[in-house]
Structure 1
Amino acid sequence: MAKPRNLFRVCSLLMAFLFAYSASVQLNDPDWYFWFPLYTLSCVINLINCRRRISKSRRIKQMIGTALSLGLFLLVKVVVEDVITEKVGVLSLDLTHRVVREKIGSGLVIASMVLQLQSSSETIDFGMVAIVVFGYGLPFWFFTIEKGEIKI
C-alpha cells in the first residue's frame, strides 16, 4: 500500500507547483486580491500534505476550508460573469478566454481541497492523479497541439 501513498504525495507536490505558478501570474491582474490568496493558500496546503498523508491539525483543516470556500465563491463569480456576458459558454475549455482559465483554476482548487480533506482513503489517490493530468494536460494540449493563443 506504499505506492498509493507516494502517488498522493507526488500529486500534491505537482499541484503545489501548479498553484505556485498560477499565483505568480496573478500579480498583474486587476482582481489579483482574489486569485493570489486562493492559489497561494492552495499551494501551501498541497506542500504541507505532500510531506505527510494528511494533517489532523485543526489549523490545516481550517486552511483547507478557507481555500475551498474562496474557490467556490470565485467559481460562482466567474460562472455568473460568463452567463451574463454570454462570451464563451459555461462548459467551454477554450483557454484563450480569461473566464475559462479562471473557471478551470478555481475548479482545480476546489477538487484539490476536497481530495486533501478526504485523503485518508486510498481511492482518493487516483482522484489526485486525475486532477494533475487535467491541470497539466489541458494547457499542454491547448497551447502545443491546438496552437491556441491567449486573448487579453
Structure 2
Amino acid sequence: MTERVLVAYASKNGSTAGIATMIAEALREQGLAAEARAVGEVESVGPYDAVVLGGALYAGRWRREAVRFAWHHEADLTERPVWLFSSGPLDATAREGLIPPVPGVQRLVDRLKARGHVTFGGCLQDGAKGRIARMIVKSGRGGDFRDPEQIRLWARGVARELVKEVATP
C-alpha cells in the first residue's frame, strides 16, 4: 500500500507554496503518493494517511489560514501522522540550526500531537504582496533564503518514518 500524504500550506507570496512543492516532490521520490495543496483547496484530510502542514511566518505568527485549517481539521489530524513546518526567516539562521516553533505554532504541535516541526528560510522578492513585504524588499533585506537540500533532507526523514510504520505490522 502506498501512503497518501497531503502537504497543505498557507502562503501569501509563494515561498511557502514552493517549500510545500519541494516536500511533496521529495516524498514522491521516496515512493509515497504526495500532493501539495493550498489549505483553502482542502475540504477533508480523510483521504490521506498523513499530513504535512506548513505556514508562512509574519511578525512571529503563522498565516491565519493555516491556523484555521489546523483547528477545523483537528479531530482528523490527531488520528494520523502529522508534521508541521514554518517558513519565514529572511536570513541564514534557518540553515544554521534548529529554530524552535513560535509559541502559536508550538501550541499546534502539542495539540495535534505533531511528530515534528521545522522552520525553513523564507523568500521575499520583487512583486511581494503587502506593504511591509514591499518595504522589506525595497530596503534590500529580501531575497531567497530557502535551502532546497535542507527541505529535501527533512522530507526524506518524514518519508522514512512513514515507510517504516507501514512495514511494521
Q: Same fold (TM over 0.5)?
A: no
**Higher strand proportion:** 2
Task: Give the helix-richer structure, 1 or 2.
Answer: 1
